[in-house]
Structure 1
Amino acid sequence: MAELLLSLASGSLRAAINPLGAELWSLTDAQDRELMTDSDPAYWTGHAPLLFPIVGRLRDDRYRLDGATYEMKQHGFARRLPFALVAQEADRAVLRLEANEETRAQYPFAFRLDMAFELDEATLRMTATVTNRDERPMPFSFGYHPAFAWPLPYGGDSSGGDRAAHRIVFEADEPGPIRRIAGEGLIGAEPVPTPVEGKTLAPTHAMFEADALIWDDLQSRSLLWGVPGEPRLRIDFPGMPMLGIWQKSGAHYLCIEPWAGIADPVGFDGDIRNKPGILLLPPSESRAFHMNVTLVSP
């Protein structure tokens, strides 16, 4: 499948994009060191799926709209569909998904999802633009789901980095409680104490034995991932108010997932317009969602 990937390059980074799902498959530095998942099939073969038009799981994989019931799998359909290439240059590309017969069976709205990637020296800029081409307000959510290398390939042990020394450092203190996944992939009713100390999260594999850590009221819109004192990734996500952090316990990646949306809470059975995290986009309007990944020096 590698021959199908789109290649972008700057002086500091290289990126590979799969048109299936408009998914970022690889991000490497100037020395060709991989900054993303090894996609080991023993754990998870995903790389960075786009979550649209829902984030997370629906109760019984169904939602209700105006008295009708529709079926949709976890995280929506965008990640499973081919995007058309709209534009490509050496350092940028734009891909597009539009409503079709398959999407309307699950989601009865006319939409356009444009996904733009641009390399600007040591920064990968990603912008998803959702446009409502329907005649009524369109309920939706959007999220990013990139899996970054854990460990990153800098310093430390024989694999390149010291796993135990990796930290997530938020731009602001995050003292508030978090959410955890309950039965059937839904959001548990009760919040739980945060594992963040001040601005810092020291992830361990054991943290993810019960699935993702979820912030539904995040204060930060930027964080650092890696080992303090080594090159790290700065991840900026303006306008994205929620965050999931996840891995299959023991894997060689950590998913750092800015979201505008969330899974159904346990027991939710209302119209999708009333689902927590749902956005309503007026007809003919667009909304953009940004995520930037920058390789920063110590």
Structure 2
Amino acid sequence: MEYELSRDGMTIRVAEMGAEIQSFTACGREWMWSGDPSVWGRHAPACFPWCGRLKDGYFEQDGVRYENGPHGFAREYPHTLVGQDGASLTFRLDWNEETWKRYPWKFRLETEYRLVEGVLSSTYRVYNLDEREMPFQAGFHYALALPLTPGGQTEDHELRFAGVEEPEEILTLEGGLVSGRRPRFTGMDHVKLDDHLFDQDSICLSGLRTPWIELASRTGETAIRLGMEGFPYVLFWSKPGPMRFVCIEPWHGLPDDAQGDHNLFHRPGIRVLGPGESFTCTQTLTPQG
């Protein structure tokens, strides 16, 4: 089942499965990747309750082994629509018997989409409903469609920062596990796109000061700005080959360390909520022309 919301010249369609946006139209165009399964069959999956891969595909808690795939499991379950008005849709995923088999904590994840004055705001709210501390990570994974202008090539696009940056890249091994850091894009205020940028998979950056990153056409005025203030990590990713979309992914969390011990509490970038505590993070999308 899908839900639609329109306001201020913007329209979103959101699937019940994963509370995942399927479409975002504004300024007379579609901004989201189509989800072509022959390339990559998703649009904007949630990363929860972890981001990236688990070492060897599992973690252990209280002597029990829990096998799981990358990016958690929130994208794999239907979310219940619990709030709707003229400007917003709110979905909820609560822990249940199935999630307990994969992640032994009682949680609630709420996802709110809001359309206001030309901006799509997406918010995750995480609640610890357990009587123990709960480790978790959360991140966005939106795929923005290319080209931004008809007939445009990958090289006609760039990712822009608010100013000159000196970030570090989080290095990973072939299996996606953290292995170190190095300077990347030092002294740059933009990154030019090309079809080989992601030959080695995603690029994860830490230490960015910019409150937003803009996917922009270098040959026109079309752009979309992703606001991600407060996120410690941002990933860029696309499928290798001709670039039909690019993901800008603000994350609160990182994949397991290559030398990790299968304990979620020891995972790089882990966040921990005490009993009854909650956590909120928001990203925004602002299309231009």
Task: Work out the CA distance in 2 between the residues paired with 1:175 and 1:285.
Answer: 34
Moved over 6 A (4+): none
Equivalent residue in structure 2 for 1:5, among 2, 5, 9: 2
Moved more, 232-241 or 61-70: 61-70
Structure 2 match to 1:45: 41
Displacement of 1:165 after TM fit? 2.0
Structure 1 match to 2:208: 218
Task: Work out the CA distance in 2 between the residues paired with 1:233 and 1:65.
Answer: 41
Q: Find out whether 1:182 has 2:173 as its counterpart.
A: yes
Equivalent residue in structure 2 for 1:170, among 124, 147, 161: 161
Structure 1 match to 2:54: 58
8 Å Cα contact 1:43/1:251 also seen in 2: no
Question: Secondary structure of the residue that 2:165 maps to in structure 1?
Answer: coil
Question: Secondary structure of the residue that 1:277 maps to in structure 2?
Answer: coil
Equivalent residue in structure 1 for 2:268, among 276, 280, 286: 276
8 Å Cα contact 1:180/1:212 also seen in 2: no
Question: Secondary structure of the residue that 1:164 maps to in structure 2?
Answer: helix
Structure 2 counterpart of 1:23, one-letter code: E
Greater strand share, structure number: 2
Task: Work out the CA distance in 2 between the residues paired with 1:77 and 1:166.
Answer: 32
Q: Find out whether 1:257 has 2:253 as its counterpart.
A: no
Q: Which runs of structure 2 are paired with 1:69-84 in the superposition (5 Å)?
A: 69-84=65-80
Displacement of 1:267 after TM fit? 2.1
Task: Work out the CA distance in 2 between the residues paired with 1:216 and 1:62.
Answer: 25
Q: Find out whether 1:22 has 2:19 as its counterpart.
A: yes
Task: Work out the CA distance in 2 between the residues paired with 1:72 and 1:170.
Answer: 34
**Structure 2: runs of 5+ lacking an equivalent:** none
Structure 2 match to 1:296: 288
Q: Which runs of structure 2 are paired with 1:90-129 in the superposition (5 Å)?
A: 90-129=86-125
State, as a whole percentage, how many aligned pairs show the same letter. 33
Question: Secondary structure of the residue that 1:79 maps to in structure 2?
Answer: helix
8 Å Cα contact 2:27/2:287 also seen in 1: no
Task: Work out the CA distance in 1 between the residues paired with 2:210 and 2:230.
Answer: 10
Task: Work out the CA distance in 1 between the residues paired with 2:94 and 2:119.
Answer: 28
Task: Work out the CA distance in 1 between the residues paired with 2:106 and 2:254.
Answer: 22
Q: Find out whether 1:135 has 2:127 as its counterpart.
A: no
**Structure 1: runs of 5+ lacking an equivalent:** none
8 Å Cα contact 2:89/2:113 also seen in 1: yes
Displacement of 1:283 after TM fit? 0.9
The CA deviation string for residues 75-125 of structure 1, in whole angstroms up to 9 with x for no partner, is 011001000010122331000000000100111111100000011131001
The RMSD of aligned alpha carbons is 1.7
8 Å Cα contact 2:168/2:206 also seen in 1: no
Task: Work out the CA distance in 1 between the residues paired with 2:259 and 2:209.
Answer: 27
Question: Secondary structure of the residue that 1:185 maps to in structure 2?
Answer: coil
The alignment of Structure 1 onto Structure 2 pairs a total of residues equal to: 287
Displacement of 1:64 after TM fit? 2.3
Displacement of 1:11 after TM fit? 2.3
